[in-house]
Amino acid sequence: MAATKKTGKGLGKGLGRGIGNLIPDETKDEKDVVVKEVVKEVVVKEPAEVKVRISQVEPNKEQPRKYFDEDALIELSESIKQYGVLQPLLVQKKDNYYEIIAGERRWRAAKLAGVKEVPVVIKDYSDQEVMEIALIENIQREDLNPIEEAQAYQRLIKDYRLKQDEVAEKVSKSRAAITNSLRLLKLDKRVQEMVMEGKLSNGHARTIISIEDGDKQYAIAQKIFDEKLSVREVEKLMREQDKKGKQPKELPENDFVYRDLEEKLSKSLGTQVTIKNKSNNKGKIEIQYYSQSELERILEFLPKN
């Protein structure tokens, strides 16, 4: 009986070791893998929020946004005094400071509030990525004025050699929207300043962009601001300016027929129409428009085939 018990005990021990050798402890290995993956994800994919002295944080000099509403900053600073900076700034480490990628408005308001430390998330990006992130954040928050937005698009195209359709894809806009935005940079510098200061709207700027003479363009812009003209009123003003600028010429005998047709078309379309007829009864029709919205309105009159 004793011998049998001893043999059983030895067999059981040996069997246990044999199964252990044949079947590895997968649970232990799996746990090790999970722990390693979790640690890797926390460090690389999810940078932790930390607090740094506000004196160690500096804005990005290439940040698209240049103008900040002082009243809005004061309002935000009062909120920060009560509740603190609720959303961390996105920054990257430089030699001896942290450069803001996103959150300069919060940083400015925090300085006004007398805050000593601000929450930040530290990441590492290329110069192009920093530009793209700053641009996208400002566009999403509608923080950029039309000129700042156009300048940011232009920089992505010139400095980083992106095409307009690539820029459009990055900021989730149509290529036409990017093209129209870039056209604003053709405005006289003084008029661009008026747009940045909020004295002229985007619609006003687009309406006068066809004026090639800078001084004349600026004069019209001043008139718009001083007289508080609407976009429609500016479109009408542009039509009148266009009529004055045309030189009288010798007319053919049957010209009254074409002028009558011009008048009828102008009334129908609500804009200036010019018929240029030749002696062989051939010619062309010119339809004037002074903004994108006016063009879209005119196109509604055309057949949808």
pLDDT digits (tens, 9 = 90+) for 145-185: 899 899 989 988 988 888 999 999 988 889 999 999 999 99
DSSP 124: -
Q: How confident is the model at residue 71 (pLDDT cuts 50, 70, 90)?
A: confident
Q: Is the pLDDT of residue 279 over 50?
A: yes
Residues ≥6 apart with Cβ < 8 Å to 199: 221, 225
Model confidence, pTM: 0.56
Residue 176 phi, psi dihedral angles, 5° rounding: -60, -35
CB-CB contact of 271 with 288 (8 Å): yes
CB pairs under 8 A, 24+ apart, for 291-299? 291/203, 291/206, 291/207, 291/231, 291/235, 292/180, 292/206, 293/203, 293/231, 294/235, 297/270, 298/269, 298/270, 298/271
CB-CB contact of 292 with 206 (8 Å): yes
In this prediction, residue 21 carries a pLDDT of: 45
Q: Is the pLDDT of residue 304 over 70?
A: no
Q: What angle do helix axes 104-112 and 70-83 make, rounded to 10 degrees? A: 70
Q: Which of 99, 104, 149, 294 is catalytic?
A: 104
Q: Characterize the bridge pairing of strands 98-102 and 283-287.
A: unpaired
Residue 104 catalytic? Answer: yes
In this prediction, residue 249 carries a pLDDT of: 57
- Average pLDDT taken over every residue of the chain: 80
- The tens digit of pLDDT for each residue in 87-140 reads 999 999 998 999 999 889 999 999 999 999 999 999 988 888 888 888 887 777
